[in-house]
Amino acid sequence: MDVIIMPTADKAAKLAAKIIADAVKAKPAYNLGLATGRTMERLYAYLADWHKNEGLDFSLCKSFNLDEYVGFDGSNKDSYRYYMNFHLFDKINIDKRNTYVPNGVADDLEAAAAEYEATMESCGGVDMQLLGIGRTGHIGFNEPLSSFSSRTRAVTLTKTTYEQNSPLFDKPEDMPMRAVTMGVGTILDAKKLLLVATGAEKASIVAKTVEGPVTSMISATALQMHEDAVVILDEEAAAKLEGIEEYKWSFKQDPRWAAYQDI
Ligand code: GLP
């Protein structure tokens, strides 16, 4: 695992966006795994800006989102499909027909989830999966005790997640208690993982994720089992890491990160 600590949340978002942009430039038919949440908004703003002003080309990309609320489709402004259109897809040149978000309104959620997995597989899998982290340590909506082998499925959200996400709704009571999410196993199948976390309220869960024991009580610890996982933090989210100075040192020395020093 690589842990990269940037001085501010904005620089953390910019670094993650640059890693994505460079990957898309190197392989234009890139399969992006995308995430939602407040953390991703500025990251997507960078990608949209580089598309508009520097011609960053997404025309051959496909995208797969982590999750969606049960009962919501794109017409609901609290849906993750709406979020993605608003923050990214409407601002870049990706073909919307190649943007996939789990189906939260299917009559048969299980069949729709299996179809989502099949689509991902037939497209060649996800090249890089972008991840945020919830206060419970969830990635996607894989709440504590999600199996590390889990696949895309409908899940019930925890009280902690309700408290974290419901303030984003006009009426907090409108937040669904269920969601469809890629499983931890689905996420681990991506060729590369990129987790971004910023802000002091993430510091404890970040320390457990990076330095704690691997446990299904904290889905994000599964990143320790992936051969190419990168965790990008700001100083606040990194504050509780024991190895903080070592990680900063390694980032500066590592030739793989030479092009990313002056963000
Ligand atoms: C939601 C998403 C997660 C995301 C989390 C973090 O719960 N399902 O995938 O990681 O939000 O949100 P934020 O960036 O707003 O802290």
Tell me the one-letter amino acid at 237: A
Ligand 1 atom having least distance to the Cα of 199: 16
pTM of the model: 0.97
Instruction: Please name every residue paired with 64 in a beta bridge, in sequence order, or none if there are none.
Output: 33, 100
At residue 15, the pLDDT reads 98
Closest by Cα among 30, 12, 116, 115 to 65? 116
Tell me the sheet residues that pair with 234.
6
pLDDT given for residue 223 in this prediction: 98
Ligand 1 centroid from CA 252, angstroms: 29
CB 14 within 8 A of CB 47: no
Beta carbon of 102 within 6 Å of any ligand 1 atom: no
Does the beta carbon of 237 lie inside 6 Å of ligand 1?
no
Q: Whose CA is nearest to atom 12 of ligand 1?
A: 37
Cβ of 54: how many Cβ atoms within 10 Å?
Answer: 9
Ligand 1 centroid – CA 134 distance (Å): 5
Q: Are 61 and 94 in contact (CB under 8 A)?
A: yes
Q: Is the CB of 36 under 6 A from ligand 1?
A: yes
What is the rounded CA–CA span in Å between residue 186 and residue 152? 7
Q: What pLDDT score does 33 carry?
A: 99
Strand ranges across the sheet with 2-6: 2-6, 229-234, 192-197, 128-131, 31-34, 62-65, 99-100
- Ligand 1: distance of its center to the CA of 139 in Å? 8
CB 55 within 8 A of CB 87: no
* pLDDT tens for each residue of the chain, 263 residues long: 999 999 999 999 999 999 999 999 999 999 999 999 999 999 999 999 999 999 999 999 999 999 999 999 999 999 999 999 999 999 999 999 999 999 999 999 999 999 999 999 999 999 999 999 999 999 999 999 999 999 999 999 999 999 999 999 989 999 999 999 999 999 999 999 999 999 999 999 999 999 999 999 999 999 999 999 999 999 999 999 999 999 999 999 999 999 999 99
**Residue 148 CA to ligand 1 centre (angstroms):** 19
